[in-house]
Amino acid sequence: MKIAGNFAKFLSAIILASVFLMSFVVGSCENQVSGKRYEATWESLTQHSTPEWFKDAKFGIYLHWGVYSVPAFGNEWYPRWMYVNEEQPRRGNFYQYHKEHFGDPSEFGYKDFIPMFKAENFDANRWADLFKRAGAQFAGPVAEHHDGFAMWDSDITEWNAADMGPKRDIVGELAKAIKSRGMKFVTSFHHARKWWYYENSYTPDKRYDTEDPRYGDLYSQPHEKGAPPTKEYMENWEAKIVEVIDKYEPDLLWFDGGIGRKEYFRSALDDFQEYKKSFLAYYYNRAEEWGREVGVTYKHQDLPAGAGILDLERGRLDSLSTDAWLTDTSVDRKSWCYIENPDYKSVNELVDVLVDIVSKNGNMLLNVGPRSDGIIPEPARERLLGIGEWLDVNGEAIYDTRHWVTYGEGPTKGKGGAFSEERDRVPYTAKDIRFTRKGNVLYAIALDWPKEKELTIKSLNAKTKISPEGISSISMLGSRSEIQWSRDERGLTIKFPEEKPCEHAFVFKINLK
């Protein structure tokens, strides 16, 4: 009996020790979790800093490429409007076009384009080489647009490019190609809008495949128009983002609108905030594990200031910002995806816009739309290569620079804001000057070549203390000519060289004493 009693005591001691050890291990795990740098609270997430690489990069490229590239009509919102027999402003009647070319939408739905999206000429390395030659410092594809088709090898949805259509991991191939060339990798997400994106196609007799539960994972499960998104929908929204984060380790996540606007999420707005905070904390903490800086963009008031990087679609600020920001725009005025009748911007316009953005402490993310077969149209390639040629000469005044005390001067003004680029579409003149700085150098960039070959910059008059000892020398990037200059109370007067060193904006390098 004594032996049994001693054994019982020994067993009790083992159990107590085990309980203590388990409590220690659990406590350690809890400390590790709580020790993560970012918590899923706005107070914590707004402490995140914009990556230094982003502040240095200035110029990036992304691509709207997906199933919507197959019909090549109107714009990338084809999946929504093909079911609605209405004339869309400046875009035409998608429904009638679809009916004439592919059949009635009740018989040929959006899902039926997927087998036609073959991407047979897609070459991720060729694309990445083009982006590098264009001078991009970050690049990547749309991961998922409003249409609901994922462009990566997803374990969450069967509606993805690795299992259907191209049957290739588009995001994965581009991630490898872009990173291997020293560029940062960006993916964009637009799938928050998917909940209401196809609602206009809902009819009393349920004519279209968008209301067929079999395709609910593509179009979103059928629901009453105006109903808030379900918990399952929001969980799926976050899960897709986390999957891309874990599989491809992007440096920048770009988000379209729809992740916080009341008209989209109505009574579910407060619930959706929790999913936003959750993925942000996850991403920022994962970046800490990777030992890298990452960023997240947002539009409107979708995130609190500080939690991410403000993005202005097809527009820019009209004043200097001390916080880094982003413009996303496209080479085509009409569409983000490839269409058969594009309206491409000129290289000169794109360069001027890039300079204006950088002078105001911003970056430009420029979109191109490849054809459904994977070929980037030649006019779009020419625009990208034209920007690259200009940056080869003048990139010193763009990359790794910071803003000066004022962004610039000149007669051409704009009101700024999202979707302002067409409203403010006025050609810049030689008197429109933009400034950037780097170390002991101030760059003054003239956005055109003056007929008189002379320019007076009022912001740099003798009363302006641009450095303790003033200016030591001035040169023009790309030119070997000696630059003549003088400075008085009117301003800094500079004579242009006889020959242009490049085709677009012209950079004076002002060395300060």
CATH code, residues 408-512: 2.60.40.1180
Q: Where in the chain is the domain with CATH 3.20.20.80?
A: 45-313
Q: How far is CA 316 from the centre of its chain?
A: 14
Element (H, E) at 62: strand 59-63
Identify the pLDDT of residue 26.
33
Q: Taking phi first (over 0 means left), then psi (-120 to 50 degrees means alpha), and beta for anything else, what does residue 384 get?
A: alpha
Mean pLDDT computed over 220-249: 95
Q: Where in the chain is the domain with CATH 2.60.40.1180?
A: 408-512
Identify the pLDDT of residue 177.
99
| Structure confidence at residue 228 as a pLDDT band (50, 70, 90) | confident
State pLDDT tens for residues 42-73.
999 999 999 999 999 999 999 999 999 999 99
| Structure confidence at residue 269 as a pLDDT band (50, 70, 90) | low
Tell me the CATH architecture of domain 45-313: Alpha-Beta Barrel (3.20)
Give which of 254, 258, 382, 386 is closest to 328, Cα–Cα.
254
Mean pLDDT computed over 374-386: 98
| % residues pLDDT > 70 (the chain) | 91
State pLDDT tens for residues 470-488.
899 999 999 999 999 999 9
Identify the pLDDT of residue 259.
61
Q: Is the pLDDT of residue 424 over 90?
A: no
Between the alpha carbon of residue 433 and those of residues 45, 59, 356, 409, 487, the distances in Å are 37, 20, 9, 5, 16
Mean pLDDT computed over 362-384: 98
Identify the pLDDT of residue 29.
32
* SS3 state of residue 475: strand
Identify the pLDDT of residue 17.
40
> What is the rounded CA–CA span in Å between residue 135 and residue 156?
35
- Across the chain, mean pLDDT equals 92
Give which of 339, 349, 345 is closest to 369, Cα–Cα.
339
Look up tokens 């008197």; give the residue: 431
Angle in degrees, CA 209, 211, 215, rounded to 5:
65
| Structure confidence at residue 35 as a pLDDT band (50, 70, 90) | low
State pLDDT tens for residues 273-317.
899 999 999 999 999 999 999 999 999 988 999 999 999 999 999
> What is the rounded CA–CA span in Å between residue 75 and residue 72?
7
Mean pLDDT computed over 13-29: 37
Q: Of 31-45, 106-120, 253-267, 429-443, which range is least confident? A: 253-267
Q: Is the pLDDT of residue 12 over 90?
A: no
Look up tokens 């400390």; give the residue: 31
State pLDDT tens for residues 240-251.
999 999 999 999
Identify the pLDDT of residue 50.
98
- Say if CB 437 and CB 467 are below 8 A apart: no
DSSP letter assigned to residue 198: T
Mean pLDDT computed over 343-350: 98
Mean pLDDT computed over 413-440: 92
Q: Of 33-37, 68-72, 114-118, 309-313, which range is least confident? A: 33-37
Helix axes 231-248, 170-180, angle to 10 degrees: 40
Identify the pLDDT of residue 258.
66
Look up tokens 């060729």; give the residue: 126
Structure tokens at 265: 């999420």
